[in-house]
Structure 1
Amino acid sequence: MPDLLLGIDVGTGSTKGVLTDLHGQVLKTHVVEHGVSCPHPGWAEQDADQVWWKDVIEVCQTLLNGAPYTGHDVLGVALSAIGPCLLPLDQQGRPLRPGILYGVDTRATQEIQELNTLIGEEHIYAFSQMTLTSQAVGPKILWLKKHEPEVWNKTHTFTTASSYLGFRLTGRHIMDRHTASHYMPLFDPQSGQWSQRYAEHLCPLSMLPDLGWSDEIAGTVTPEAASITGLKVGTPVTVGAVDALSEAISVGVVQAGDLMVMYGSTTFFILVQDQPTPDPRVWTVSGAFEGQINLAAGMATTGALTGWFRQNLTEKAPFSTLFEEASKIPVGSEGVMVLPYFSGERTPINDPLATGMYAGLGLHHTRGDLFRATLEGVGYGIRHNLETFQALGAKVNRVVAVGGGAQSRFWPQLVTDITGIPQILPRVTLGASYGNAFLAGLATKHLTLQDLEQWTSGQDLITPDPANHQRYSLFYPMYLDLYQQNRTWMHRMHGLL
């Protein structure tokens, strides 16, 4: 009987599962596409059962359908998902509404202001090592309490996407500490536990899951879950993680000084640290393993923006065609510049009212100009985040590029030229599900961190073109100015809608 590991990741736009052996060889994969619901401006939701859990069931049934593997071959399961999300459950563990997504959902802007006034922004930052932004779950709990009292009155437990899936498999409510860090100001980063300090303003701590590390076992597969998924009763299931954390592990970003840049639906950054360097512009959170700190950051739209461009500004042209057109356009996109704030912006400006912008347009501009400008706009945003890391003294030894946007060498090369910082590009990237398979082996003691080197071998180094970098360095200050000069307009426009 084979000894296999199962990793599943529920991302913003799709769910992927992978079966591996103990040496990291991929034996079988399956992907399920899904969407995001945006019922109001600034809202982003997904149905916990009809998207998250339904996808997991399909992945398990497909991978474990007996051709040639079954659930009896699986030594352990690890799950990751988008996060941090807010999902209210009733006393039986049933979702009471769709899950409210991470920082791309900006509905709780007013509640951020209320909590800052009530508690004091400086007190929240001193306690949580972060300021309240759209990424924080505490304001979304307050939003639910104010705007959906009928849901609030029925809520027994608050959970997130990965924790809900772990609950469906094991019957246990447990959340990883990386995600819990964003449930501020309810989480104490010093103790790694929930805190009563500000709970009276939000919810009783009894409504929150237990806490664990991503390389720990949350529980085992129940008979009910086994009958639905095809997994064996008693199979160990790990605590879980956010997708970006598992993606970082999948490419060996586990040592202090390792930085992952994930080109996904959003751009997400995870820098592994042994000592925190907190700053209000970014997020200081717990890592995957006990004793580790992550300096994290995230833009709001990356793949989501290129997807919007393809859907609305082309006749659904293949991305390969769009990238080819962009590659023929010179640095600076013939004077077009893009602010990629199409769902507000997270770090480092943390402005949920920021809006996207195409500036410098003329009748001579082509689709290729606009698409390259879109890619460059994301690149400027990445540089803004990396310069923020540098400004606060965070130690970065190496940068690893991952995600769907890194599948083509063109975009990472463009970003490297903009930032002037080399990026390591893994020759094979399978994403968070692959990192989860490794976590399953780690949690079940079938693997150690030393085995990760074998799992992640094979990398290329992308270095900046000096001439391109010099040229981009002339445009980059204009990118920063474009937001500053239009920030008041953006906020005024939001107030009129």
Structure 2
Amino acid sequence: MRCTIGVDIGTSSSKGVLVSEHGEIIAQSVREHEVQRPHTGWVEMDGTIWWDEFVAIVRDLLAAPDASGAEVAAVGVSGMGPCVLLADDDDVPVRPAILYGVDTRSTAQIARMTDELGVDEITRVGGSTLTSQAGGAKIAWIADEEPDAYAKAQRLFMPASWLARHLTGAYVLDHQSASQTSPLYDIENETWYEPWWQQYAGGLEQPRLTWAGEIAGEVTQEAAVATGIPAGTPVITGTIDAWTEAVSVGAHGPGDLMLMYGTTMFLIATGEQTLRTPSMWTTAGAFAGTRNLAGGLSTSGALTAWLKDLTGADYPQLLAEAEESGPGARGLLMLPYFAGERTPIQDPDARGVIAGLTLEHGRGDLYRAALEATALGVRHNVETMRAAGADIRRIVAVGGGTQGRLWLQIVSDITGLVQEVPQTTIGASYGAAFLAAGAVAGDAAPDIEDWNPVVETIEPTPEHRAMSDELFDRYVRLYEGTREVVHELAVEQRATVRSVSPR
């Protein structure tokens, strides 16, 4: 039985699948982990976890009862990003990995680099202004704040490239991930921008650039012993999880928008032109010849998990009570900026706000308001993308949050968008397996519509349109009206955390 393996390293867990050549999932495995938040605005992870969990997951997959006789044709890798994991010459991390835009520590570096290079030039070269998502600014933070660690660093990794390195010995990074190491990548010429690499990442060896579905190398004998995957098995380069998720549902062609429901919410609009707007991220696509306009909420599933832990109720209870609360959450309105916000407001000092609370409100109202807050954030992103010229004709939903119909319906009602839900929504691990299958199939490469057909369509409820428009207007005004006070609180929060942090 010819199969491929796909493994994705996510924010809260690592997931793996063993998939047949026809797209059937033969086995699955998950390893949960946590991020570290040593200071307000810091989100990091021990990078050694990524390989350890990969090994454990692959051994689970190959030992599954239905995997007997499986012939692993190729391996797909994927991971959250853009992350910055710097390692020394022996590939030992010099410090924990700094995660993507939810980590907002590099504010000073962003301001300095923007002043030194200029907004127009940064946008011309890399496509995007510098934000908390910019990998290059995170590298600069390490150089500025932890010079001893930076002095030891030789190589730059993200989760997918870390796995590829351990499996094959290749030092590679895909173009899509590289385009998010702003301002180090030249998006039009699809190469590292040498002057700024030397200025802000000097001393680091540049990884070889390839596309996500291209073969990075073959499993080494050492990696074969560790994982059980036969030596010589091809391994793709892989890419950031949101882009691999888009691949998993076929939402990576011009006119497509992928909406990922996860710990954070992510949106990717695909086209053939390089669209630039300061509110969103302009990146290379997963495949040659494509460009993306992308955005992301800093919290979505993380916010619902917070409410679950806070109230002690389980998800079925909260969903039932949120359903009963009804559209508008009985007069509650929430800003979901509990970890700052990425797009389109690009405000690391934004904070969560719950407006309209009374003694009559219950946890179901709060949960409903949280779901509506994420949907309002999605609408804000979509409207910003369209204003920048994105041609959005097809919306595909993916990720763990698609298992709950209420959340999907709320998003369609508030955005006015029809969402397609495919048969398999587990996301990036499945997309990585698909990319791996295509890399070794030649002219017989599989079609994602055959692997993963659409099984449900979510239509917006027409009678909720007026209320949704009113909610969105209030949502935008609530942020503007509370921003000054919230920013003052954010400054106090950072000072308080610093004062009690261990030496």
- Alignment TM class, shorter chain as reference: over 0.9
Question: What is the rounded CA distance, in whole Å, between the counterparts of 1:159 and 1:280 in structure 2?
Answer: 26
Find the aligned partners of 2:69 and 2:201 in 1 and give their Cα distance.
Answer: 39
Question: Could you say which residue in structure 2 is the equivalent of 1:478?
Answer: 474
Task: Tell me how far apart the structure 2 counterparts of residues 211 and 490 of structure 1 sit (CA, whole Å).
Answer: 41
Q: CA distance change for structure 1 residues 373 and 283 in 2, over 3 Å: closer, same or farther? A: same
Task: Please name the residue that 1:42 is paired with.
Answer: 41
What SS class does the counterpart of residue 118 from structure 2 fall into?
Answer: helix
Distance 1:103 1:176 in 2: 19
**What secondary structure sits across from 1:338 in the alignment?**
strand
Secondary structure, aligned partner of 1:265: coil
Find the residue that maps to 1:64 and give its secondary structure. Answer: helix
**Whole-angstrom CA distance in 2 between matches of 1:382 and 1:323:** 20
| Alpha-carbon distance in structure 2 between the residues aligned to 1:219 and 1:97 | 27
Aligned residue among 380, 384, 389 for 2:380: 384
Q: Which residue among 407, 414, 435 is the counterpart of 2:410?
A: 414
Task: State, as a whole percentage, how many aligned pairs show the same letter.
Answer: 43
The correspondence of residues 389-404 of structure 1 with structure 2, limited to 5 A, is: 389-404=385-400
Cα distance in 2 between the residues matched to 1:273 and 1:459: 25
Instruction: Indicate the residue corresponding to 2:432 in structure 1.
Output: 436
Q: Are positions 1:148 and 2:146 aligned together?
A: yes
Whether the 8 Å CA contact 1:18–1:437 is kept in 2: the answer is yes
Give yes or no for contact 1:9–1:243 (8 Å, CA) kept in 2.
Answer: yes
**TM-score, L = length of structure 2:** 0.95
Give the match for residue 273 of structure 1. 271
Match of 2:499 in 1: none
| Local SS of the residue matching 2:67 | coil
Secondary structure of the 1:334 match is: coil
TM-score by length of 1: 0.96
CA drift at 1:399: 0.3
Deviation at 1:435, TM superposition (A): 0.8
Which of 358, 369, 372 is 1:373 aligned to?
369
2:501 matched residue in structure 1: none
Give per-residue Cα distances to partners, 1:398-436, cap 9 Å, x unaligned: 101111111111111011100111111224322111111
What is the one-letter code of the residue matched to 1:117? D
1:79 is matched by which residue type in structure 2? V
Partner Cα separation in structure 1 for residue 193 and residue 52 of structure 2 = 34
- Match of 2:355, as an amino acid? A
Amino acid aligned to 1:357: V
Change in 2 beyond 3 A, CA 1:205/1:193 = farther
For the residues of structure 2 that align with 1:448 and 1:410, how far apart are their CA atoms? Answer: 39
Equivalent residue number for residue 51 of structure 2: 53
Distance in 2 separating the partners of 1:108 and 1:158? 17
Per-residue deviation, 1:201: 2.8
Measured in 1, the distance between the counterparts of 2:401 and 2:111 equals: 35
Whether contact under 8 Å (2:154, 2:203) holds in the other structure is no
Change (3 A) 1:235 1:71: farther
Aligned twin of 2:202: 204
Q: What is the number of equivalent residue pairs in this alignment?
A: 493
Distance 1:216 1:467 in 2: 47
Distance in 2 separating the partners of 1:473 and 1:440 = 43
Give the secondary-structure state (helix, strand or coil) at the position aligned to 2:282.
strand
Q: How does 1:245-284 map to 2 (within 5 A)?
A: 245-284=243-282
Q: Counterparts in 2 of 1:76-475, with a 5 A limit?
A: 76-204=74-202, 206-312=204-310, 314-315=311-312, 317-445=313-441, 451-475=447-471
Q: Within 2, Cα distance between the matches of 1:374 and 1:447?
A: 46
1:33 aligns with 32
How far apart are residue 483 of structure 1 and its match? Answer: 0.8
TM-superposition CA deviations, 1:422-481 (whole Å, max 9, x none): 111224322111111110011112575662220111321111111112111112111001
3-state SS, counterpart of residue 325 of structure 2: coil
Q: Is the 8 A contact 1:257 1:397 kept in 2?
A: yes
In 1, Cα distance between equivalents of 2:370 and 2:200: 39
Asked if the contact 1:72/1:231 (under 8 Å) is kept, the reply is: no
Distance 1:71 1:443, change over 3 A: farther
CA contact (8 A) 1:71 1:230 kept: no
Paired residue type of 2:148: E
Asked whether the 8 Å contact 1:83–1:242 carries over to 2, the reply is: yes
How has the CA–CA distance of structure 1 residues 119 and 448 changed in structure 2, closer, same or farther, with 3 Å as cutoff? farther
Cα distance, 1:68 vs structure 2: 5.0
Matched AA of 2:176: H
* Residue number in structure 1 paired with 2:500: none
Distance 2:284 2:394 in 1: 20
Amino acid at match of 2:8: D
3-state secondary structure, aligned to 1:335: coil
Shift of 1:261: 0.4
Unmatched segments (≥5 aa) in structure 1: none
Q: Deviation at 1:279? A: 1.1
**Deviation readout 1:214-263 (Å, 9 max, x if unpaired):** 11000111111111111111110000111111111111113211111001
Q: Does the aligned pair in 2 maintain the 1:196–1:205 contact within 8 Å? A: no
Residue 287 of structure 1, CA deviation: 1.0
- What's the C-alpha RMSD, in Å, of the aligned pairs? 1.5
CA positional deviation for 1:362: 0.9
Deviations for 1:5-34, whole angstroms, at most 9, x for unmatched residues? 111111111111111111101111111111
Shift of 1:71: 9.4
Stretches of structure 2 that go unaligned for 5 or more consecutive residues are 496-503
Aligned mates of 2:443, 2:80 — CA distance in 1: 25
Q: Distance in 1 between matches of 2:80 and 2:69?
A: 25
The answer to whether the 8 Å contact 1:19/1:27 transfers is: yes
Q: 1: distance between equivalents of 2:304 and 2:236? A: 34
> Would the aligned equivalents of 1:338 and 1:356 in 2 still touch at CA under 8 Å?
yes
